[in-house]
Amino acid sequence: MKVIIPLANGCEEIEVITNIDVLRRAGVEVETISLKGLEVKGAHNIIIKADKKIDELNIEEVGGIILPGGMPGAANLRDDKRIINIVQKLDQKDGLIAAICAAPIVLEAAGVIRDRPATSYPGFGQEMESCTYLQDRVVVDDNLITGRGPGVALEFALKIVELLVNKEKAEEIKVEMISNF
């Protein structure tokens, strides 16, 4: 299964790189896509080069999406109709939908968190009125995973591995990375 991570200017770099790294360690095919040019400037002025542009993406090959937060990155994703369309299509086929930090606002805009438990970076809950808002570090509801922010990026990525691969692989990576949570 291919998982995509869309990159928008202003994205949270830790959330991008941690998810790419951990999922690739687990053997998951991860592809980064940009909304415009291949080079994206993160929230902390780090340049990240995407694998391809969104217009080159074949949605039929995609089984999941991981939305990084950061501002204005999450708002840029929320305001892009192509991202909203991908999220909605994945939800219809029970594909993985994961969003961390401010990015759950994309899920609200796509209408996929109505009456479902979710979390986000503090202060963004008010923009997620349709969900059952929780303040947990990572929240899982079937195909939907949300996380609080940069400080839980590793825990969030390992939870995705647990769901896409298995718990044993997530534990193996956790031990290899000397993670104590």
β-partners of residue 167 are none
Q: For residue 150, give the nearest of 169, 140, 137, 168 by alpha carbon.
A: 137
User: Which residues make Cβ contacts (< 8 Å) with residue 180, sequence separation at least 6?
Assistant: none
Q: How far apart are CA 85 and CA 75, in angstroms?
A: 15
CA dist list (Å): 26 to 43, 68, 91, 157: 27, 19, 23, 10
101 has catalytic annotation: yes
**3, 57, 99, 101: the active-site residue:** 101
Q: Known catalytic residues?
A: 101
